[in-house]
Amino acid sequence: MKLTSAQIEQTQKQLQADAIPAEHPAMAQLERLFGDHTYFLDSTGLSIVEPVATDQTDTRMGMVVSLANWASGDAKSLEAHAPEATDRMINLGGDRGR
């Protein structure tokens, strides 16, 4: 899922990750491999946020899905793997239904 600017900011704060800019040279390859998403890099690797259903009608939540881990401790290259749902949840704000 592509996130809005406000959702990206919320996610970066909660995930302590950096969003990969849309104009980054790797975006074409990432979208070819994983689809149209906002991608984040953190200390664990590459991830996206997927919406999840909740009982709260005024809050939109997203689950962090891991797509690749760092190949080594120097965080210079990634090893892709099948998408893995994590237990990390992101509060995307009160824009449910938009």
Question: Got the DSSP string for 16-59?
Answer: T-EEPPTT-TTHHHHHHHH-S---EEETTEEEEEEEE--S-SS-
- pLDDT higher than 70, residue 95: no
By CB atoms closer than 10 A (0-12, 13-18, 19+), residue 43 is exposed
pLDDT of residue 4: 94
pLDDT of residue 76: 83
Q: Residue with structure tokens 């953190």? A: 42
Give the number of other Cβ atoms within 10 Å of residue 91's Cβ: 16
Mean pLDDT (the chain, rounded): 90
Which residues neighbour 28 within 8 Å (Cβ) at sequence distance 6 or greater? none
